[in-house]
Structure formats: C-alpha cells, structure tokens
Amino acid sequence: MAKFLVQKSGPLYGEVDISGSKNAVLPIMAASLLAGAECEIMGVPALKDVEVMCGLLRSVGSSVSEDYANNRIVISTPERVSDEAPYELVKKMRASILAMGPLLAKTGRVRIPLPGGCAIGLRPIDLHLKGLQALGAEITPKPGYVEAKAETLRGGNVYLDFPSVGATENIIMAAVLADGVSIIENAAEEPEIVNLANFLNKMGAKIKGVGTNTIKIEGVKELSGCKHSVIPDRIETGTFMIAAAITRGNLLIKNVLPNHVKPITAKLRECGVSVEYNDESILVRGDASPLRSTDIKTLPYPGFPTDVQPQFMALLTTMNGPSVIIETVFENRFMHVGELNRMGANIKIEGNNAILHGGRPLEGAKVICTDLRAGAALVLAGLAAEGTTEISEIYHIERGYSNFIEKFRKIGAAILKIDG
C-alpha cells in the first residue's frame, strides 16, 4: 500500500490554488439526475470521490464525460433511469446516499444500500428518511438496504433533530419536484448547501432560505439543464491556512471565499497567526508573532467546522500551554489522537473532549490515516516533527484532496509518496 514520507519542512512559503469543494460537487452531481437536459459543472476537483459519484450516475443510466484537465464534467440523464444504486459503489463512499432524494423524485422508487459507518461515527440516515417520509414516501428497511416509494411526492414540513448536511440536501433534492410547498426547519446552513440550491434554482427550482435554518421549497413540474460552478473548498483552504501556521510560514492561498472560513480565521488569530483577506485570496503568516494555544469546539456552520478539527489539533500540539478540543458533531472523531501521541503529543480523551498539553517537540514516527481529515492532520504534524513521519493508508487523503502532494511540494514541503 502506498505511503507518504514527510520530513520536517518549512517555514512553508509561496502560493496555493484551492480546488473546488468536494462536499459541494458531490450533491450537485447527484442533483443533476433531476435535470431533463445536460448539466455542465465547472470547478470540479479531480478526486477519487468524484470518480465514484461519476460511476454511480453511470450505473443508473446517466452519461458522464469527465474533463479533469479543465476541472469540468458534463452529465446528461435520460427520462428513465434505474432506481437502484449498486452496493459496490455505495460502500465506497458514504455520500452515495445523496442519490436517494433525486432518484426517488425522478422514478418514484429507490433502493439504496445503507452507506454504513466509517471511522468517525455510525453515520445513521434516520433524518434523511424522516424528511422523505414527510414528503409522503413510504420507507421500508430491508437487510442492508432501504427502499423508499412514492407515487407522487407532496410538499411537507420537517423539523430536523440535528442540522444534518446530508439530510438537508437529500430533502431539498426530493422536494424540488414534489407537488406543493415543503419547509425544512433546523436545516443545515453550510455553504455547500447554498451552492447546491443555486444549481437547482438555475435548473428552474424554487428554493428560498438556504444558508439559514429554515428552507422553503416550492415544487415545480420539471427542471432543465444548466451550467454551474462549484465553490472553492473551505476545508482544503483551512488545511493550508493551518499548514502556514504549523510551519511558522507565509502562504498566499488563492481561489478562496474568505467568508466561508471565518471561524477558522478567528481561531488562528486567537493563536497569534496573521490572517489578511483580499477578494479571493487569504495571506496567512505563522511567523508574525510567537503563537499561543487556544480552545476549539466544533459546531454546525457557521461554527468551527468538524472537518478542520484534526488539523487544528495538530497545530495546537506545537504551541505551549493547555488546550481543550470539544467535538460536538461526530461521536468518534478523535481517531487521530492516538497517532499524534505516537509522535510525542500529549493528548488525553475524556468523552467528546480532548485535553491537550502542547509545546513538546513532535518526533517523526510510523502512523496510520484513519480517515480523510485525520490523514491531513498527520501530514501537517509531520511537517513540524523532527525526522521522518511515515504515513500509511493514504488512500483516505487522496479521496478528498486533489493534487495534495503537488500543492505541498510547491510551497516547500518535503513529502514523498512511496509504493509498497
């Protein structure tokens, strides 16, 4: 299995171009199933997860042309598609569940394997199903998969117990062709949902209130095709902001939407990191003043993003002083703690709190990626650690970051990918 060898590097210096958002492009690709004509999506990141979603769309009948050199894909979906998503694709990527709402809206029936859990949690889909039921779907759990049926979906109201990103997206995609008006309360407010709704409204949908906790969808008869751009990846942006901080470097991060990373900026500034916004770029300096520790608590947007918690924890190990990291979104998102401790970090877990005493220099070690963002955290820790850090199971990282090594090497990181 391939590995990364990471040497102590930096201060990192130079420019990074951020790619399109993984968590925006995946629901937008699923939503293209609803279009009666061709959809052209720009700003598409070259990711394994995007390839898996292309495979899923093809498996139900769409034709998909991928042009990663120009970061674009073109999807056209026939009137009649299969209502069944294949297990071998769904098990590869949890986000496959986002095909459920569109397939139900398009065909009146969907059979989808349960996506299953992953390292960071059980990842249930009860809120997705609660929302589809509110639109009139009949849900039948079967061993290992779930079936949803509805002759016609009708407008309905749902109050989400938790502002689930995926559930909000699935319900929107089912409601856009429903007969009547639907309201989602306690909806997720993430920017990726706004990007999805803008795509659907371009196709002729009538969605209002995205970006707030109450979303109103007025069902329409049909949706056309359209051209749409994916927003920059705010999690990749945060990852490189932290790369500048952890190596006490100086990075100009381009193709970003600064407003989407405000909680990360606020926390970095609390640590003494200099962060300056321009229109579509951010200048981050970890060398502006001595850095100090802080505490973080993850929350749904606009709170501090759970997808940047592991990376920020790696940064905090390089600061003097105690820190408390509270993870409120996932029940098991501390798998990277054991690996960071193998590098000499001093972190204890108490429930969903991690108590960290930073300041002792990290030492390179052999570590394992447990999930996408934990992997990014280990690379960042390796850049600061003395000696060499050997990171295995790096397929997790390559699922969600495009041209990961190339971007880091360009700004001075000593990272090598070895096979075997």
Inter-axis angle of helices 100-107 and 126-134, to 10 degrees?
Answer: 30
Structure tokens at 367: 């570590």
Query: CB 36 → ligand EPZ: shortest distance, Å?
Result: 26
Q: Which long-range contacts (CB under 8 A, 24 or more apart) does 54-59 make?
A: 54/29, 55/89, 56/85, 56/86, 56/89, 56/90, 56/96, 56/99, 57/29, 57/30, 57/32, 57/33, 57/99, 59/85, 59/86, 59/89
**155, 166, 286, 375: which one binds ligand EPZ (CB under 6 A):** 166
Site for ligand EPZ in 50-109 (CB under 6 A): 95
Quick one: 159 or 162, whose CB is closer to ligand EPZ? 162
Please report whether residue 311 would count as binding ligand EPZ according to CB under 6 A: no
Please report whether residue 167 would count as binding ligand EPZ according to CB under 6 A: yes
- Measured CA distances, 366 to 2, 315, 380, 398 (Å): 13, 19, 14, 19
Please report whether residue 199 would count as binding ligand EPZ according to CB under 6 A: no
Please report whether residue 123 would count as binding ligand EPZ according to CB under 6 A: yes
What would the x/- binding string for ligand EPZ be over residues 357 to 396, using CB under 6 A? Answer: ---------------xx-----------------------
What would the x/- binding string for ligand EPZ be over residues 219 to 248, using CB under 6 A? Answer: ------------------------------
Please report whether residue 126 would count as binding ligand EPZ according to CB under 6 A: yes
> In terms of DSSP H, where are the helices of 289-371?
309-316, 335-342
Residue 45, phi then psi, degrees to nearest 5: -75, 145
Please report whether residue 125 would count as binding ligand EPZ according to CB under 6 A: yes
What would the x/- binding string for ligand EPZ be over residues 172 to 191, using CB under 6 A? Answer: ----------------x---
| Residue number closest to ligand EPZ, CB atom | 166
Say how far residue 333 (Cα) sits from the centre of its chain: 14
Query: CB 364 → ligand EPZ: shortest distance, Å?
Result: 25
Q: How far apart are CA 331 and CA 321, in angstroms?
A: 26
Please report whether residue 260 would count as binding ligand EPZ according to CB under 6 A: no
Residue type, 307: D
Quick one: 12 or 93, whose CB is closer to ligand EPZ? 93
Please report whether residue 121 would count as binding ligand EPZ according to CB under 6 A: yes
Quick one: 35 or 308, whose CB is closer to ligand EPZ? 308
Query: CB 166 → ligand EPZ: shortest distance, Å?
Result: 3
Query: CB 397 → ligand EPZ: shortest distance, Å?
Result: 11
Please report whether residue 400 would count as binding ligand EPZ according to CB under 6 A: yes
Q: How far apart are CA 116 and CA 129, in angstroms?
A: 15
Q: Give kind and range of the element (H or E) at residue 5.
A: strand 3-7
Helix (H, G, I), strand (E, B) or coil at 70: helix
**40, 307, 327, 398: which one binds ligand EPZ (CB under 6 A):** 307
Q: Is 39 designated active site? A: no
Query: CB 100 → ligand EPZ: shortest distance, Å?
Result: 11
Q: How far apart are CA 20 and CA 401, in angstroms?
A: 10
What would the x/- binding string for ligand EPZ be over residues 318 to 357, using CB under 6 A? Answer: -----------xx---------------------------
Q: How far apart are CA 345 and CA 361, in angstroms?
A: 8
Would strands 250-254 and 13-17 be described as parallel, antiparallel, or unpaired?
parallel
Catalytic residue among 118, 226, 271, 369: 118
Nearest alpha-carbon partner for 75 in 85, 62, 60: 62
Q: How far apart are CA 136 and CA 126, in angstroms?
A: 15
Residues annotated as part of the active site = 118
Residues that bind ligand EPZ (CB under 6 A): 22-23, 26, 95, 121, 123-128, 162, 164-167, 188, 306-307, 329-330, 372-373, 400
